[in-house]
Amino acid sequence: MELSGIILKFAFMFFRFSLLFLLTGSVFSLSAQNGGVKGYVKDSKTGVEIDNAQVSVKGTDVQVSTNSEGYYIINGLAPGVHTIIATIPNYKPDSFTLTVKPEVINVHNFFLVPEIQTIGSGKIVNVKKRRREDVDIGATKIKPSQLFKIPTIGGTPDLVQYLQILPGVVFSGDQGGQLYIRGGSPVMNKITLDGMTIYNPFHSIGLFSIFDVDLMKSADVYSAGFGVEYGGRVSAIVDVKTRDGNKNKLAGNFSASPFLGKLSLEGPLRKFIPGRGSSSFIVSLKNSYLDRSSKLFYQYADPSKLPYNFNDLYTKFTFNSSNGSSIKLFGFNFRDNVNFPGSTSYGWKQSGLGSRFTLIPEGKQSKIDGFITYSDYQIEQKELDNKPRSSSISGLNMGVVANSYNKKDEIKYGFEVNAFSTDFSIFNANNRQISQQEFTTELCGFGLYKWVRQRFTLEAGTRVQYYASLGNTSLEPRVSGKYLLTKKLIFKAAVGKYSQNLLSAFSDRDVVNLFYGFLSGPDNLQKKFNGEEVKSRLQLARHAVAGFDYDINKYSEIGVEGFYKSFDQITNINREKLFDDDGNYSVYSERLKKDYIVESGNAYGADIRYKFDNVKRVYIWAVYSLTYVNRFDGLNSYSPHWDRRHNANFVMDYVLDKNNRWSANLRWNFGSGFPFTQTQGFYEKFDFQNGPSTNYAQTNGQLGILYAGFNEGRLPTYHRLDGSVRYNFKPKNNFKSYIVFSVTNIYNRQNIFYFDRVNYTRVNQLPVLPAISYSASF
């Protein structure tokens, strides 16, 4: 069946299930014995949703917090007249009188008036209170303002730079670097942008991602034990959401640095008026010219080693109704190119279109969210050996999620359809080609119930993943909870089961590799692993994580978490394949013929973090992670190349004057050495392509390398200090601007990138790189 026909089939299925969700949502609503109210809490000037606002019923102990979307619901109210109040620091409280009727959920949106806020006056209040409804185990919630508290490489803040300071996160390098989260490889992490899967979120320079911080609304990172809403990955989730465009006026911002330039424009299609519908747009363009600017500014760093170029385009349209229902349309085009002279050329591109909708049914307690997206990713790498690597993945993803409530408790359920095709071709270390073309379909459903009480929150649910193309089903129960031992001390824990079909199109044994392709569960897989029959082509894992948070005072807190991930089955490229898997080589073992092998492993460790934030002047963030990562390939146990035992980060941001004109920040990172395979010697290698008639006595062979035990060595330790100073110019009308002077690798630490075995040359990470940038908004 052609892809267009499959898309139409799934779209029709999606429509029918959406109607079913609307009906079931109504059924849940009609079961309520009392009435209630739901809606959003928004800023009265901008129309932006306010999260963690407190909505309460006067004269009762009923109180809820708005979620990250500014949404709240109070149900189970007895019929009669009630006063509903919304409050949050830095805004004036608001209230209204509600006449509650049986089995009716009213809709009311609050529009809070912001109070005048200046750091010098001391009127800003630190909003530190956690949502009682959220468990937050293994989770970190990131706001755009936090990205400015760390040194900005090249003067430009970026999400990838902030992710590196989170507990359990290991970053492999400045050039072609990838993120490894609590023992999982990059392909085991699902990264989404407005619900759409992003297959390669990081540019090849490793310092920048495809996410524009000026458009970002939030980023939620789940490093272990994530809930049933997320699936298709066995290690971690990074969920990035963008904000809507300005709903009142035409606005924009631009910036320039030696690394890149950015430009964005936004404005209303229909202006925001409290209580009415509105619409807006936003478009962002980002372009890197480091391959050219390095020749001018960084001659000492050898510009031939900085041949990086990329450009990103993102567009979003938002349409909001008066009651809070909305539809959002978005699209993107990201491109990346690298050209090492006389060596390797590499490039990837990804594009996509999508929509998200939210329905707030009148009179019912349900809330329904849905999405439909299409994306395409292509990557190619060419080298001097004339054996190019290529990979592509494209597909359709759609789903619906419904929320219903039983007083403070929450019921959430949903379904998802994921259909994608993969096409890739590579050569392994023995010059054997491995290729695959595959179309894959995944059907997923989940349901959860969240109990919310005064001192504890418990969330239990199950996700069912049906991999239609493989004929495998995975039942994935997951439980998480937290308990308030005291007002300052919270204990949290989670366990769960996970699965995924997608795997990376290069071996995770490669230390340096810009090529990052994908393929789905392969057929050419060994039949037995570790003496037992391989019954599934899925990759499977189990998580357990527990810890506590302690509020030392109103400015500082400490957190400790321990985790264990059991990777029960992993699929990897077979680096040892020597023969084609046909009748001509039937006498050889599967390990020498199969394209892929099965592995198992585990990851475990603990993290401790400390945060101090008094808003006015000082921000301190300190994290230490201890991690062990192990793999077993059926014959040997080994440490993958991201097995960094010790990792520490220290960040400090300080406002230098009372008017908030000058500020400075520092970040110091320390990491113990990565595993690597040592070289024992060299020999002349023949491939015997002519069989027994190969004249090896008179023919020149290739250079062969005799390796020591796999990854039994350790590279030197890594540490680096970055810093930046920011000056905010005095605003003029609506024009605001600032300048940043930054230095990457202040004391010019020579951190190793990799070692060229053949030329016996050490290649280091980036040297000291000063930069100055200018940014402005209007």
pLDDT of 51-74, one tens digit each?
Answer: 889 999 998 888 888 988 899 999
Of 617, 715, 727, whose CA–CA distance to 673 is shortest?
715
pLDDT given at position 53? 92
Q: How many residues does the structure list for the chain? A: 778
Is a pLDDT exceeding 90 seen at residue 541? yes
Q: Which residue has the tokens 């970055």?
A: 722
Return the minimum-mean-pLDDT range out of 306-320, 413-427, 756-770: 756-770
Please tell me the distance from the alpha carbon of residue 646 to that of residue 389, in angstroms, as a whole number. 34
Is a pLDDT exceeding 70 seen at residue 133? no
Q: Give the burial string for 274-285 (b: 16+ CB within 10 Å, else e).
A: eeeebbbbbbbb
The number of angstroms, rounded, from the C-alpha of 484 to the middle of its chain's C-alpha atoms is 29
- In the 3-class helix/strand/coil scheme, how is 144-192 assigned residue by residue? HHHHHHCCCHHHCCCHHHHHCCCCCEEECCCCCCCEEECCECHHHEEEE
Please tell me the distance from the alpha carbon of residue 109 to that of residue 115, in angstroms, as a whole number. 19
pLDDT given at position 461? 95
pLDDT given at position 659? 86
Of 186, 84, 133, 165, whose CA–CA distance to 622 is shortest?
165
What is the identity of the amino acid at 498? Y
Whole-model pTM: value is: 0.89
Is a pLDDT exceeding 60 seen at residue 362? yes
Using an 8 Å Cβ cutoff, are 98 and 162 in contact? no
- The answer for residues whose C-beta is within 8 angstroms of residue 580's C-beta and 6 or more apart is 432, 593
pLDDT given at position 8? 46
pLDDT-derived band at 132, boundaries 50, 70, 90: low
Is a pLDDT exceeding 90 seen at residue 189? yes
Please tell me the distance from the alpha carbon of residue 79 to that of residue 34, in angstroms, as a whole number. 7
Please tell me the distance from the alpha carbon of residue 415 to that of residue 404, in angstroms, as a whole number. 15
Output the CA–CA distances (angstroms, integers) from residue 73 to 55, 277, 289, 651, in the order listed: 9, 21, 48, 38
pLDDT-derived band at 585, boundaries 50, 70, 90: confident
pLDDT given at position 131? 63
Task: Give me the mean pLDDT over the 84-97 stretch.
Answer: 92
- Higher-pLDDT residue of 577 and 657 is 657
Is a pLDDT exceeding 70 seen at residue 555? yes
In sequence order, what DSSP letters do the residues of 755-771 get, joined into one string? EETTTTEEEE----EEE
Percent pLDDT > 70 in the chain is: 89
- Higher-pLDDT residue of 339 and 105 is 105
Q: What is the mean pLDDT of the chain?
A: 86
Task: Give me the mean pLDDT over the 246-274 stretch.
Answer: 93
pLDDT-derived band at 506, boundaries 50, 70, 90: low
Please tell me the distance from the alpha carbon of residue 586 to that of residue 589, in angstroms, as a whole number. 8
Output the CA–CA distances (angstroms, integers) from residue 535 to 261, 527, 598, in the order listed: 51, 8, 11
pLDDT of 155-175, one tens digit each?
Answer: 788 998 999 999 999 987 776
pLDDT given at position 29? 45
The number of angstroms, rounded, from the C-alpha of 585 to the middle of its chain's C-alpha atoms is 44
Of 235, 171, 243, whose CA–CA distance to 208 is shortest?
171
Look at residue 592 and give its three-state secondary structure.
helix
Percent pLDDT > 90 in the chain is: 51
pLDDT of 277-310, one tens digit each?
Answer: 999 999 999 998 888 888 888 887 776 667 888 9
Task: Give me the mean pLDDT over the 409-438 stretch.
Answer: 81
pLDDT given at position 597? 87
Look at residue 657 and give its three-state secondary structure.
coil
pLDDT given at position 342? 66
Return the minimum-mean-pLDDT range out of 374-378, 435-439, 695-699, 716-720: 695-699
pLDDT-derived band at 404, boundaries 50, 70, 90: confident
Is a pLDDT exceeding 70 seen at residue 26? no
pLDDT given at position 526? 83
The number of angstroms, rounded, from the C-alpha of 640 to the middle of its chain's C-alpha atoms is 22
pLDDT of 377-393, one tens digit each?
Answer: 998 887 666 677 788 89
